[in-house]
Amino acid sequence: MRAMTTKKRTAILISGRGSNMQALAAAACTADYPAKIVLVISNRPDAAGLQWAKANGLATLVIDHKAHASRPAFEGALQQALDAAKVELIALAGFMRLMTPAFVEHWRDRMINIHPSLLPSFKGLHTHERALEAGVRIAGCTVHFVRTETDTGPIIAQAAVPVLSSDTATTLAARVLEAEHRIYPIALMLVASGRARCEGEKVIISERVTDLGSLFSPGV
């Protein structure tokens, strides 16, 4: 087993279903995983992921953006909670709030996000609809460090999946989501262990990780 230094105290921020949160939390249960999930925060009281987090013994907190007069006020409450839990890393997992440049800069190279496309293609919402509309043969997902411009930032990991002729946005989303659940735990592991670090605006990986295989498309 790899010699273990202190696990990085990690918060996961969600707004909804939380399936990526579940993938991260499951990975973090293994003894030699370098991150510990110390807090799950949702900006929506009704986020389904909160129930799962509670049922699985994770500390949860709702910070409702609607209860705050401004974005900085909301982020102030967020920052207070993160400080109180001594959080070192943030993993955004379907967190649907834009952050101010001040917050993003404060967490520079310590906040990561997962996006359901092969960035820099298809930033923003409705990625699968737009991928199908564009007729791409390969879709996928990206884990990246967060920068002020939405869905940009140094790329830590990507996985590709084929786009099939029969795909709808729903079937493509499901295939991409499976890939998300595979790469997000690997990306957080790389960041938390210090094996992925930013050099300029690119990420250097210092040690080989599990080979997830290569992909050729069209598939049928």
Question: Contact positions toward ligand GRF, by CB under 6 A?
Answer: 14, 16-21, 49, 93-94, 114-116, 177, 180
Minimum distance from residue 89 beta carbon to ligand GRF (Å): 17
What is the four-CA torsion angle of 177, 81, 105, 23, rounded to 10 degrees? -20
Minimum distance from residue 69 beta carbon to ligand GRF (Å): 26
Q: Which residues of 93-111 are buried (b: 16+ CB within 10 A; e: fewer)?
A: bbbebebeeebbeebebeb
Minimum distance from residue 93 beta carbon to ligand GRF (Å): 5
H/E stretch holding 24 = helix 19-28
Q: Which is nearer to ligand GRF, 125 or 204 (CB)?
A: 125
Q: What one-character-per-residue DSSP string does 34-96 give?
A: SEEEEEEEESSTT-HHHHHHHHTT--EEE--GGGSSSHHHHHHHHHHHHHHTT--EEEESS--
Are 133 and 121 contacting, i.e. CB atoms less than 8 angstroms apart? Answer: no
Minimum distance from residue 8 beta carbon to ligand GRF (Å): 20
Candidates 106, 115, 126, 144; catalytic one = 115
Q: Which is nearer to ligand GRF, 115 or 147 (CB)?
A: 115
| Nearest residue relative to ligand GRF (C-beta) | 94
Told to judge if 115 belongs to the known catalytic residues of this protein, a careful annotator would answer: yes
Q: Which is nearer to ligand GRF, 21 or 111 (CB)?
A: 21
Q: What is the DSSP letter of 6?
A: P
Minimum distance from residue 200 beta carbon to ligand GRF (Å): 25
Are 183 and 141 contacting, i.e. CB atoms less than 8 angstroms apart? Answer: yes
Q: Which is nearer to ligand GRF, 20 or 193 (CB)?
A: 20
Instruction: Give dist(CA 28, CA 115) in Å, integer.
Output: 20
Q: Which is nearer to ligand GRF, 88 or 180 (CB)?
A: 180
* Catalytically annotated residues: 115
